[in-house]
Amino acid sequence: MNANRMKEPLTFSVPLAREAKRRVQERLKQKHLTDRHARQVYVNALSTYAVEYYLECMGFEVDRTGSDSADRVIREFTDVADVMVRSIGKFECRPVLAGDRAVSVPLEVRCDRQGYFAVQLNADFTEATILGFLKKVTAAEVPLEEWRSLDDFLQYASHLESSHQLSQWLHHVFEAGWETAEAVLSPPRMVWRSGSTAAVSWRSPTSGGAIERVKRLKLERAEDEVALLVRLSPKLDAEMGIGVEVYPTGDRTYLPQDLKLMVLDEDGIAVMQAEARSTKNIQLKFSGEPGEGFSIKVALGETSITEAFTI
């Protein structure tokens, strides 16, 4: 391997042919509000096509109907060009035209994305080059020089793929297997709610208001199935309060005897532990910062299940 080549930032180029055109045609079928809007939909469609193609070549699972930009109404009223990757979340794919020196990233897409791609389109729209990647964008225009190698993206995304993304929960994006408490636990528990949607006033989901989900964990025997509840409580100082609770499922009132619940840090070392002895539930509470990783391990005898999370 030529050592010099390793230092060049990694990019990815793809021809835009029939499939790309088909995507564009699908999205331009709607009536448009303005001329500028139609042009934006056109270039956004090509950008998202290029990134979806890249992600699939790299072996990521793309959910073509799960993105905002696949939704006609959202496309009509916001400038979105995102792709949805299973187990990870949404990535924004901002087009940049030949001759532009900076990439425009509108406010509408600067919050609930796992990352951003800069996708350069050539003058006759026959080729797209994914020039770079950023995890976070806080400005409306980002100069080309600031975008980083796709190597950063591959490393970041491969890591995210293997853990549950709690930051996505704040935007109501949940992976399969995570259900509401009402759906899994019976009888229904008294659950503190963050603010009914019937209220006239609206509060941002990230300012107070806990979000919780439950996952069924099947241990060795069917009667040992338990429900793992994870509750996120955003705090004022950007830290996240995490509550972890384990309940029996079905008609059972008590947890299996000697069931253990552990919280592991990023290195896999147990930092908290609780054990069930004729109890109805066990719980642990801690807090962490966005980006931190941890795991939850539920063990009974020889069997254990570990779920990895990134805050």
Partner 1 sequence: MTHGQTEDDRELNQLAMEAKQYPDRSYERRRILNRLANKIFQSPKLHRPHCDSLPPAISEDLYREALNITVMEICKKIDKYDSSRDVLGWVNFLLKNRFIDLLRKWKNMPSLDEIDPIGSEPDPSASADLKQWIEADPDGFFTRKHIKKNPKATFQFIVLARIWEDRKWEDISAELNISNSTLCEFYKQQLRELKPYFKDFLAN
Q: Are 83 and 113 in contact (CB under 8 A)?
A: no
Structure tokens at 199: 């209220």
- Distant-in-sequence, close-in-space partners of 309: CB < 8 Å, separation ≥ 6: 163, 164, 165, 166, 230, 293, 294, 295, 296
136 near partner 1 (CB under 8 A): no
| Closest listed residue to residue 205, CA positions, set 237, 231, 181, 169 | 169
107 near partner 1 (CB under 8 A): yes
Nearest distance, CB of residue 87 and partner 1, angstroms? 11
- Near partner 1 in 65-94, by CB under 8 A: 71-74, 76-78
* Residue number, 86 or 221, with CB nearest to partner 1: 86
Chosen residue from 64, 86, 189, 203 binding partner 1 by CB under 8 A: 203
What is the secondary structure of 121-139 as a DSSP string? E-TTSSEEEEEEEES---S
Structure tokens at 45: 């469609």
How many residues make contact with partner 1 (CB under 8 A)? 59
C-alpha–C-alpha distance, residues 85 and 61, integer Å: 6
Site string for partner 1, 22-51 (x = CB under 8 A): x-xx--x-xxxxxx-xxx--xx--------
Which secondary-structure segment (H or E) carries 179?
strand 178-179
* Residue number, 116 or 247, with CB nearest to partner 1: 116
* Residue number, 77 or 254, with CB nearest to partner 1: 77
151 near partner 1 (CB under 8 A): yes
116 near partner 1 (CB under 8 A): no
Chosen residue from 122, 155, 257, 306 binding partner 1 by CB under 8 A: 155
3-state secondary structure of 240: strand
Residue 109 is which amino acid?
A: V
* Residue number, 48 or 281, with CB nearest to partner 1: 48
C-alpha–C-alpha distance, residues 44 and 251, integer Å: 51
Instruction: Write out the residues near partner 1 by the rule CB under 8 A.
Output: 1, 5, 10-19, 21-22, 24-25, 28, 30-35, 37-39, 42-43, 53, 56-60, 71-74, 76-78, 107-108, 111, 125-126, 150-151, 154-155, 158-159, 161, 200-205
